[in-house]
Structure 1
């Protein structure tokens, strides 16, 4: 059976519907950066998803090519994730989606290197006749966070975020900054799952009150 990160690391991908504290280890991703309304048809965000999955599946299927990755084992491509922010806005204003900035990411197995990603970009470009140059190898050290499973529309996340902030207030403070961002992990395919049933992990960086 292919290794499934969602099942093997449930503490990161399958939290409860109530807030919890988690220490997230450093991880490698493929990433595409952009800005603008993610709901815009043929917009930059939806294009970024196409690019990410193109490279992700090229890496997964590398076992069938001449590019043999050292330490490779079969795996399920991890879910789409995103780091989000808006310049000069504290928190998240869901009514100003055109001002959103984001880094869309998909986690990489530890055996995949930056050189492997460059190979996959070149291979995908040749095969799909698309420009994959925006895809980058991205290392992220997330650290201490509060997280919660959100079920429903993305626009309704504010209620879940409020629960998270209430949960930490006695011992922790938010630590959102230029290096640590509002983080979402998408466990449901928005094209196939009704809004009210979508599952999204919402995660915020925190630190101890006395730090």
Structure 2
């Protein structure tokens, strides 16, 4: 039976126009870091070209060798900048840092990951394998919402999340801004793109 983690993990669901508090479980990801404008930075293109060959190699290994099939999960990313206004309001993409991510099940081990990387390397189609790693992420309590529309229209939503909703709930931001891309920009009109916007938080100390 094929596992669909988008349905099995509640935090992969969000509602447009609503900020929700969710508890995100520890999740393991393929991760690759970089910086710069995702539309123009060669490092971003290399990261994408590396992440998915390994993700699919792990999926087919899991199905064939471990007898556990699952759907490859959507692209995710952590985003930050020294001045977060460069991300939320100014949208100066040249100042952005990022970690591209793809979730993998808990049963995928470091040994499985290294074997998949070796197989992908033999084909010479993954230009940034040395930057790829398998690592857990623990976000815990988080605020999230669903954004529908172009990525460049996220700014006002993030501004409201960061400067209105989170303070009103007596919370403070902790981890990095997290996006989950439920639509493929290569096949989906910008106005129909669906993106979960997430911000880890913690109670404000009394």
Q: So what's the TM-score if we normalise by structure 2?
A: 0.89
RMSD: 2.0
1:209 maps to what in 2? 204
Match of 1:186 among 181, 188, 195: 181
Pair 1:146-2:143 in alignment: yes
Change (3 A) 1:91 1:182: farther
2:69 maps to what in 1? 74
1:52 maps to what in 2? 51
Q: How does 1:128-143 map to 2 (within 5 A)?
A: 128-131=124-127, 132-143=129-140
Helix, strand or coil at the partner of 1:205: strand
Greater CA drift, 12-21 or 159-168: 159-168
State the Cα distance separating 1:192 from its structure 2 match.
1.0
Match of 1:160 among 157, 160, 175: 157
Q: So what's the TM-score if we normalise by structure 1?
A: 0.88
Q: How many residues align?
A: 202
Q: Distance in 2 between matches of 1:63 and 1:188?
A: 25
Unaligned runs of 5+ in 2: none
The answer to whether the 8 A contact 1:19-1:163 is kept is no
Match of 1:118 among 114, 117, 131: 114
Greater CA drift, 139-148 or 122-131: 122-131
Unaligned runs of 5+ in 1: none
State the Cα distance separating 1:145 from its structure 2 match.
0.6
Helix, strand or coil at the partner of 1:111: coil
Deviating beyond 6 angstroms after TM superposition, the runs of 4 or more aligned structure 1 residues are: none
State the Cα distance separating 1:47 from its structure 2 match.
1.7
Helix, strand or coil at the partner of 1:169: helix
1:31 maps to what in 2? 31
Q: Distance in 2 between matches of 1:186 and 1:80?
A: 6
Q: Distance in 2 between matches of 1:105 and 1:27?
A: 11
Bigger helix fraction: 2
